[in-house]
Amino acid sequence: MQRLYDSQIQVEDIYNRIKFYRNGLIKSYCPYDRRFYENLILNEIENLIMIRDQFMQNSREMEKEFTIDELAKYDGKNGNPAYVAVDGTVYDVSVLPSWGGGTHFGLYSGKDLTTQFKSCHNMMDILNKVPKVGVMKP
């Protein structure tokens, strides 16, 4: 959690520097000064890309592995989030209003619903819009 907080601070600092450099760029009429500020902005963008790449690497390393019994706990009831597994990936469907209470048209969260999702209309498109929270253990 501390790493995430530190990354947020770094991103805020970079954002503030970019705003400062942008203002210098806007106010400057000298082509050399303008190029100087452009290079500073490009440098900060590269820093943002590095932070993003580190964050993505860390999130892959922290990916949770679920057994079918662990997945069953995430049924959307009693304040638990609603997770479903599809093709070995676990998704948080709690964010979808249509999955209120952990159910959706006769489907129940906390289960592997690969077959049901593949046979249903556009459900795979919907999964691309919800958070991936882990993978199923083999």
Alpha-carbon distance of 119 to 6, in angstroms, equals: 43
Report yes or no: 115 and 86 within 8 Å, Cβ to Cβ.
no
Per residue of the chain (138 residues), give pLDDT as tens. Answer: 455 567 778 889 999 999 999 999 999 999 999 999 999 999 999 988 888 777 766 565 457 889 999 999 998 888 888 899 988 889 888 877 787 777 788 888 899 888 887 777 566 677 777 788 888 887
Tell me whether strands 132-136 and 64-66 are parallel, antiparallel or unpaired: parallel
pTM: 0.55
Question: What Å distances lie between residue 21 and 41, 46, 47, CA to CA?
Answer: 7, 15, 15
Taking Cα atoms as reference points, which of 31, 32, 35, 123 lies closest to residue 86? Answer: 123
Looking at residue 133, its pLDDT comes to: 85
Looking at residue 62, its pLDDT comes to: 54
At 81, list the tokens: 């989030």
User: Hey, what's the torsion of the CAs at 131, 132, 133, 135, to 10 degrees?
Assistant: 170
Looking at residue 108, its pLDDT comes to: 83
Looking at residue 1, its pLDDT comes to: 47
